[in-house]
């Protein structure tokens, strides 16, 4: 794919989004949100609970089962000044599962709010967990760009770090909601199928699914598969450069099982639930391409790599990954991706996309434009004219690309 990112101007991928169109809270019932149906050029509206009517049997539907962590910790100085520490990703240990199981100490990469007020060495907070009083200490260990490296320690070896977050952390709802997190967010800013902790933002396309909707899909022979991509705070970073070649894409870590790879390989049609599932599935393809080229697994996809690698079929790339996993007795593939999907990208695995409505001038909107071309404008203007709710707690769409006959 010989596409020049310097030719993609972010000004071409914006629209007017009034603040009152941003959904500040979720609906009472997940599956009663509106559903915009884009089907090969035509646009219509429905309710999300009817999404099964637009999904054929023998299709594979891929969900991101990451779980949002209570990532915001509030400390108060003796002066009353509040210091917020927003945990982004673990540093030592870097494995998420191990990180949440740590006792006594752990180091995280964080964003610190009110950093200029944090002059002393340590911040301390007295907390109570299971009737035990614990002192939680935060210590600055250095910086990395705009982030701080923070070591957390606590004086009770029977308490693991995930318990601390669950007990005193706040849900990291998106900044554009312009409100503090509330009790409703702990449940509703989480998919019903979330399992593996690690995200600081929800894979919001999945917020509309209920157990009833999932059961309806299964009853019509739709295969439900899960991948894990831990969503980072970088998902909210707007493109500030004039052209996208100057935008630095964030890295996100993902895990895909061998069973899922085998099912994707045998699927005639793949539906991705959310842009995070798209990024994971498409990155899988390029990992397989690199494996075929170099006969060695490189577990990271950089920002522009997909546009520089040669063309291989879905069968070739996924079989390469499957063979590698069989030869090395691996049940899951752990990797990371920085992939930036923008107009001109040729999708290798994803055929249909379920997604919410994204911010103007965002990399997510670029991905939508890559998926359905210039019709993204038709979709977004239809949504605006028909009172759809936007962004994380907003309404949904199912995008079926192609031209009507």
Look at residue 232 in the predicted model and tell me its pLDDT.
83
Whether residue 280 is found in the same domain as residue 387: yes
Q: How many domains does the chain have?
A: 2
- Residue 405 located in a structural domain: no
Tell me the mean pLDDT per 10 residues along the chain, length 405.
Answer: 79 96 97 97 97 95 97 88 92 90 94 88 89 92 90 93 93 91 95 95 97 97 96 81 90 95 95 97 97 94 95 96 97 96 95 97 96 97 98 98 65
**Contact criterion met (CB below 8 Å) for 100 and 67:** no
- Helix H or strand E encompassing 279: helix 275-294
- Residue 178 located in a structural domain: no
Whether residue 55 is found in the same domain as residue 38: yes
Whether residue 142 is found in the same domain as residue 281: no
- Residue 179 located in a structural domain: no
Whether residue 122 is found in the same domain as residue 237: no
**Contact criterion met (CB below 8 Å) for 239 and 363:** yes
Whether residue 151 is found in the same domain as residue 110: yes
Look at residue 78 in the predicted model and tell me its pLDDT.
79
- Residue 177 located in a structural domain: no
Residue 63: give the domain boundaries.
5-67+187-400
Whether residue 63 is found in the same domain as residue 205: yes
Look at residue 357 in the predicted model and tell me its pLDDT.
98
- Residue 193 located in a structural domain: yes
Assign residue 246 the CATH number of its domain.
3.40.1780.10
For 161, 281, 301, 304, the CA distances from 308, given in Å and listed in that order, are 41, 18, 11, 7
Cross-strand partners of 381: none
- In angstroms, rounded to a whole number, what is the distance separating the alpha carbons of residues 333 and 325? 8
Whether residue 32 is found in the same domain as residue 108: no
- Residue 35 located in a structural domain: yes
Look at residue 233 in the predicted model and tell me its pLDDT.
76
Whether residue 203 is found in the same domain as residue 133: no
Look at residue 2 in the predicted model and tell me its pLDDT.
60
Look at residue 309 in the predicted model and tell me its pLDDT.
94
Query: Pseudo-torsion of CA 139, 141, 142, 148, nearest 10°?
Result: -40
* Peptide linkage before 93 cis (omega within 30 of 0): yes
Look at residue 80 in the predicted model and tell me its pLDDT.
80
**Contact criterion met (CB below 8 Å) for 160 and 129:** no
Pick from 116, 139, 169: which residue ends a domain? 169
Whether residue 139 is found in the same domain as residue 282: no
Q: Compute the residue count for the chain.
A: 405
Whether residue 204 is found in the same domain as residue 148: no
Whether residue 297 is found in the same domain as residue 367: yes
Q: What is the DSSP string of 193-223?
A: T--EEEESS--GGGGG--HHHHHHHHHTTPE
CA proximity to 195, closest of 235, 221, 229: 229
Whether residue 213 is found in the same domain as residue 338: yes
CA proximity to 67, closest of 231, 209, 214, 213: 231
- In angstroms, rounded to a whole number, what is the distance separating the alpha carbons of residues 251 and 153? 27
Cross-strand partners of 111: 86
- Residue 162 located in a structural domain: yes
**Contact criterion met (CB below 8 Å) for 245 and 7:** no
């Amino acid at each position: 794919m010989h596409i020049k990112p310097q030719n993609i101007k972010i000004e071409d991928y914006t629209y007017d989004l009034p603040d009152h169109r941003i959904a500040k809270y979720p609906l009472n019932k997940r599956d009663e949100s509106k559903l915009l149906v884009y089907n090969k050029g035509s646009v219509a509206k429905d309710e999300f609970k009817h999404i099964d009517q637009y999904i054929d049997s023998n299709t594979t539907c891929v969900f991101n089962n990451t779980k949002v962590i209570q990532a915001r910790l509030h400390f108060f100085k003796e002066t009353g000044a509040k210091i917020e520490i927003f945990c982004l990703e673990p540093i030592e240990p870097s494995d998420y599962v191990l990180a949440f199981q740590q006792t006594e100490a752990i180091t995280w990469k964080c964003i610190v709010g009110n950093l200029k007020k944090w002059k002393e060495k340590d911040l301390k907070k007295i907390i109570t967990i299971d009737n035990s009083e614990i002192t939680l200490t935060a210590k600055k260990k250095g910086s990395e760009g705009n982030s701080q490296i923070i070591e957390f320690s606590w004086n009770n070896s029977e308490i693991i770090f995930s318990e601390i977050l669950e007990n005193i952390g706040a849900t990291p709802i998106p900044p554009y909601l312009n409100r503090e997190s509330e009790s409703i967010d702990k449940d509703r800013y989480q998919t019903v199928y979330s399992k593996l902790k690690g995200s600081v933002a929800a894979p919001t396309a999945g917020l509309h699914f209920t157990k009833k909707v999932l059961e309806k899909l299964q009853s019509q022979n739709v295969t439900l598969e899960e991948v894990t991509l831990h969503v980072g705070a970088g998902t909210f970073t707007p493109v500030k450069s004039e052209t996208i070649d100057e935008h630095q894409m964030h890295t996100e870590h993902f895990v895909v099982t061998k069973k899922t790879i085998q099912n994707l390989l045998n699927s005639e049609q793949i539906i991705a639930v959310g842009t995070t599932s798209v990024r994971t599935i498409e990155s899988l393809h390029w990992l397989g391409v690199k494996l075929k080229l170099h006969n060695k697994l490189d577990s990271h996809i950089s920002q522009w790599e997909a546009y520089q690698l040669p063309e291989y079929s879905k069968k070739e790339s996924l079989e390469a990954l499957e063979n590698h996993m069989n030869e090395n007795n691996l049940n899951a593939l752990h990797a990371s991706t920085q992939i930036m999907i923008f107009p001109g990208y040729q999708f290798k695995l994803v055929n249909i996309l379920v997604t919410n409505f994204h911010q103007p001038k965002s990399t997510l909107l670029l991905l939508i434009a890559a998926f359905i071309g210039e019709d993204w404008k038709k979709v977004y203007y239809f949504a605006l004219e028909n009172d759809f709710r936007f962004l994380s707690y907003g309404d949904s769409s199912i995008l079926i690309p192609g031209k009507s006959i």
